[in-house]
Structure 1
Amino acid sequence: MAIDIIQIVGLGLIATFLALVVKEQKPMFAFMLTVFVGVFIFLFLIDEIVKIIEMLEGIAERADLNMMYLQTILKIIGIAYIAEFGSQIAKDAGQAAIASKIELAGKILILVLAIPILTAVIEMVLSLLPT
């Protein structure tokens, strides 16, 4: 784990320095370098993400939880990370307005996915209240 973060930070710093050097002469190349390194870091972490998902599924099965809820929560987390990634790329390109729209879209999609969970929680609370 410590080696992984050292490699990721090293790659990120090298790419940052390269992008700063190249940015004055070829700004498009610097931006593409930034996007490429971001995607590469994400792909580097795919195995770790799969391990986390498998662990959470195992815990949910042992706790006899409805897998629909876990899948929904994982989708929500995925949307949050993807929206953040897209937003940061747009900000790096100097497009703050587009970045804010990506963030808004992510929040709305998260809310849509959360409605069934919120409904189940409200129904559970209401069933516990004395009538």
Structure 2
Amino acid sequence: MEYEIIKIVGIAIIAVMSLGVLRNIKPEYAIYLVLASCLVIFVMLLGKLLVVFDYLKSIYEGLTYGQTFFPVLIKVIAVAYITDFTSQLCRDAGEGAIATKTELAGKVIIFCLSMPILVTIIETLNSIL
């Protein structure tokens, strides 16, 4: 399990070295190698993500207070990671405008997801005051 990082780093180094050669020979194919490398690394991480989600599920099942907010927090974290991953891929492809709009979309979705928490905080403050 702990050797996964060595595999990931190895793939990244091989991809970077291959990109150096490919950009000199066929630069138009370089983006495909970048996308494929990122996809392979992401697939390698899926197993680790499942372990994290199982752990978070056990935490959620043990909560006595805050069960309504825990799924929202998990969704916000997931949207943030997915948005960041996607915007970095867009920037690597030279599409800064699409990356920026992807980040904006992620921020809007995070804001929408967090609205129930904000409403609850405001209602709690109103009941106290």
- Regarding TM over 0.5, the answer is yes
Deviates most, 17-26 or 107-116: 17-26
Partner deviation per Cα, 1:13-65 (whole Å, 9 max, x = no partner): 11011112101222232111111111111111111111111111211211224
Asked if 1:112 is matched to 2:112, the reply is: yes
**Residue type matched to 1:28 in 2?**
E
SS at match of 2:19: helix
Equivalence for 1:72: 72
Equivalence for 1:90: 90
**Residue type matched to 2:118 in 1?**
L
Aligned length: 129
**Consecutive unaligned residues in structure 2, runs of 5 or more:** none
**Residue type matched to 1:10 in 2?**
G
Q: Distance in 1 between matches of 2:68 and 2:26?
A: 48
Structure-2-length-normalised TM-score? 0.88
Q: Distance in 1 between matches of 2:24 and 2:97?
A: 24
The answer to which structure, 1 or 2, has the higher relative contact order (CA under 8 A, 6+ apart) is 2
**Consecutive unaligned residues in structure 1, runs of 5 or more:** none
Give the RMSD, CA atoms, in angstroms: 1.7
What percent identity do the matched residue pairs reach? Answer: 36
